[in-house]
Amino acid sequence: MKIKSANKHRSAGANSEAKLRSRMRRWEAGALKNSLARLPERRARFASDSGTEIKRLYTPLDLRKNDYLRDLGFPGEPPFTRGAQPTMYRGRFWTMRQYAGFGTARETNLRYRYLLKHGQTGLSVAFDLPTQIGYDSDHALAEGEVGKVGVAISTLQDAEELFRGIPLDKVSTSMTINSTAAVLLAMYIAVAEKQGVRTEALQGTIQNDILKEYAARGTYIYPPGASMRIITDIFDFCRRRLPRFNPISISGYHIREAGSSAVQEAAFTIANGIAYVEAALKAGMDVDEFASRLSFFFNAHNNFLEETAKFRAARRLWGRIMSERFRARDPKSCVLRFHAQTAGCTLTAQQPDNNIVRVAVQAMAAVMGGAQSLHTNSRDEALALPTEDSVRIALRTQQIIAHESGVADTVDPLAGSYAVEALTDEIEAGARKYLKKIDSMGGAVKAIEAGYMQAEIADSAYRHQLAVEKGGRVVVGVNRFETAEQPVNKVLRVSPALEREQRRKLAAFRKKRNSRKALEAVEKVRDAAAGTDNVMPPILEAVKAGATLGEISDALRQLFGEHREI
């Protein structure tokens, strides 16, 4: 009886599919006839940013699979396609972060207070280039770069000033720092301890993703092997001392900013994530001891449907990799939690107010895709660091989406859309092809060392730019709908006096500290790095003893050497 019933259902399903295919053929013929008779389509071929053909109409026939429970399921349950938590934004909104940092710690602290006053719910710290690559503000190579693209932090004193008056037990802090992540994390812990905050209470994230630096961004110091060792030491330290802190933010954002497609962004980010998991396992950790604290960082680009699908596909793909490849037992180990930032590379200096609209579309895609945290870029970032007015508009964009649009009232509101589900399947399939290729090369580190990821990203960037220059890809205000340019009245400029002030403060700090004690502490960092001890405890002690970021970084440079790109 059951067999007959099952056969009957299968027969009915086959008949329904046949009817749908027949009706689709009739519709296509009619649509083609009508479009030719009345209005031709705008282009011969429509495609996503990743090159996937966009069909005129999507139906259930376009879905790669038709198993709802297996491929979609429910929010907060494997494979997590529909969201990381069961209630998502009905329980709480995403964390609203505005990435900020410029000049000295004092100026940046004032900006943080301004943002918190206007409703920001988490901090996101931008560091200047010398800080990112391990040079103090008074180093010869830092000249002209101090405080320009982020805040200058050389000492524990700088870190204290950066977070002055900000309760670190109540605010979640994200720090975009990679090569010197261990030093900045140590400074953050030391500041918290001075505030009387237990390390167990600290919440936040350090980016700490060195592989994407080699592949796309360039702020690396040490060779890959040494960098991976420091990263796994941070994993272990956070597992023991900072249970609520994310020890890494595996970042596709900068991969996308360098010119990758959405599929490449998802694939290369997850490939790097696999490499970090494998490194931690090799260091002796159990997957369920650290995997639940891994976090991700993605770009929210212009193509609304593709971006929404990208986030859903990445979450599903990571969930399956963690359960099937790494045999994670804890469901929390399989959840891809991510921060999103709107796409800086899409912002234009021409007609900068257009950027407000771009950011709104991109932010909505991140929300529709289920982001846990979001930064919205400011309209003037193609010209300079953002002004307070521009930052406030960017923050208000998130608040309007959260409180006025209604999209946060139900979980995964676009689920079941034939177009979104088909694109989700396509992006996952495309990413799997890249992962198979990277695995055949020996993993992400080997693929980066061979220049594979870099070449793929460069090819994608070239194709995009060519399409813009030829007019095949429209950028409003740049290659179509141009207007006579109006001068921009107000941009934020970092005064050269701030660099002089930072150098003066650093000289005073060196004079006041116990230099012998500081340098002895740095030697202990070098000893730990030369052996097998975890480097985080001696780095923390060195910071407290008055060692500077540059002194600690130089000690590790002398031991590990510096990476040189082939």
User: In 3-state terms, what secondary structure has residue 458?
Assistant: helix
CA dist., res. 141 & res. 559, Å (int): 20
Contact 52, 430 (CB under 8 A): yes
User: Given this model, what pLDDT does residue 35 score?
Assistant: 59
Burial of 8 (0-12, 13-18, 19+ CB in 10 A): exposed
Are 387 and 449 in a shared domain?
A: yes
Q: Could you give the angle at which helices 262-282 and 224-241 cross, rounded to 10 degrees? A: 70
Contact 245, 293 (CB under 8 A): yes
Query: 553 in a domain, yes or no?
Result: no
Are 323 and 398 in a shared domain?
A: yes
User: Given this model, what pLDDT does residue 34 score?
Assistant: 64
Are 232 and 290 in a shared domain?
A: yes
**pLDDT tens-digit readout, 8-65:** 444 555 677 888 888 878 877 776 666 555 667 778 788 888 888 888 888 777 787 6
Q: CA quadruple 156, 158, 162, 167: dihedral positive or negative?
A: positive
Query: 499 in a domain, yes or no?
Result: no
Among 470, 504, 525, the domain-final residue is: 470
Question: For residue 442, what is the domain's CATH number?
Answer: 3.20.20.240
User: In 3-state terms, what secondary structure has residue 392?
Assistant: helix
Contact 461, 258 (CB under 8 A): yes
Query: 544 in a domain, yes or no?
Result: no
Q: Could you give the angle at which helices 536-544 and 181-195 cross, rounded to 10 degrees? A: 60
Are 313 and 281 in a shared domain?
A: yes
Contact 250, 297 (CB under 8 A): yes
Are 13 and 27 in a shared domain?
A: yes
Kindly give the residue spans of alpha helices, DSSP state H, lying in 75-180: 105-117, 129-132, 156-162
Which 8-state DSSP code applies to residue 53? Answer: B
Contact 419, 48 (CB under 8 A): no
- Residue 429 structural domain: 69-92+207-470
Mean pLDDT split into 10-residue runs, the chain, 566 residues: 45 70 78 61 82 83 70 90 94 90 91 90 92 97 94 97 95 95 98 95 96 95 96 96 96 97 98 98 96 97 97 97 97 97 97 97 98 96 91 96 96 94 95 98 96 97 96 94 79 86 96 97 98 98 98 98 88
Question: What's the count of helices (H) and strands (E) in the chain, helices before strands?
Answer: 21, 9
Q: Which tokens belong to 470?
A: 């030829």
How much is the CA Rg of the chain, to the nearest whole Å? 25
Q: Write down how long the chain is.
A: 566
CA dist., res. 128 & res. 104, Å (int): 10
Are 32 and 86 in a shared domain?
A: no
The letter for the amino acid at 466 is L
Kindly give the residue spans of alpha helices, DSSP state H, lying in 513-546: 515-530, 536-544
Q: Could you give the angle at which helices 181-195 and 224-241 cross, rounded to 10 degrees? A: 20
CA dist., res. 188 & res. 432, Å (int): 38
Are 22 and 81 in a shared domain?
A: no
Are 17 and 39 in a shared domain?
A: yes
Q: Which residues of 402-428 are buried (b: 16+ CB within 10 A; e: fewer)?
A: beeeeebeebbebbeeebbbbbbbbbb
Query: 536 in a domain, yes or no?
Result: no
Return the H-helix or E-strand segment holding 125: strand 122-126
Are 25 and 80 in a shared domain?
A: no
Are 74 and 48 in a shared domain?
A: no
Q: CA quadruple 379, 381, 386, 391: dihedral positive or negative?
A: positive
Query: 120 in a domain, yes or no?
Result: no
Query: 458 in a domain, yes or no?
Result: yes
Among 437, 470, 503, the domain-final residue is: 470
CA dist., res. 362 & res. 502, Å (int): 36
User: In 3-state terms, what secondary structure has residue 137?
Assistant: coil
CA dist., res. 5 & res. 194, Å (int): 70
What percentage of the chain's residues is helix, strand, coil (to nearest 5)? 55, 10, 35
Q: Which tokens belong to 63?
A: 């879905």
Q: CA quadruple 474, 477, 481, 484: dihedral positive or negative?
A: negative
User: Given this model, what pLDDT does residue 280 score?
Assistant: 96
- Beta-bridge partner residues of 91: none
Residues whose CB falls within 8 Å of the CB of residue 494, separated by 6 or more in sequence, listed in order: 102, 103, 147, 148, 385
Contact 362, 343 (CB under 8 A): yes
Residues whose CB falls within 8 Å of the CB of residue 50, separated by 6 or more in sequence, listed in order: 261, 262, 263, 264, 306, 427, 430
Q: Which residues of 315-353 are buried (b: 16+ CB within 10 A; e: fewer)?
A: bbbbbbbbbeebebeebebbbbbbbbbbbbbbbbebbbe
User: Given this model, what pLDDT does residue 98 score?
Assistant: 85
Query: 182 in a domain, yes or no?
Result: no
Q: What domain count does the chain have?
A: 2
Are 377 and 447 in a shared domain?
A: yes
User: Nearest to residue 444, comparing CAs of 277, 282, 207, 324?
Assistant: 277
Among 44, 63, 82, the domain-final residue is: 63
**pLDDT tens-digit readout, 407-441:** 999 999 999 999 999 999 999 999 999 999 999 99
Contact 237, 534 (CB under 8 A): yes
User: Given this model, what pLDDT does residue 511 score?
Assistant: 96
Query: 232 in a domain, yes or no?
Result: yes
Lay out the sheet containing 95-100: strands in order across. 245-246, 204-206, 172-176, 122-126, 95-100, 373-375, 338-342, 294-300, 248-251
Are 217 and 257 in a shared domain?
A: yes
Residues whose CB falls within 8 Å of the CB of residue 455, separated by 6 or more in sequence, listed in order: none
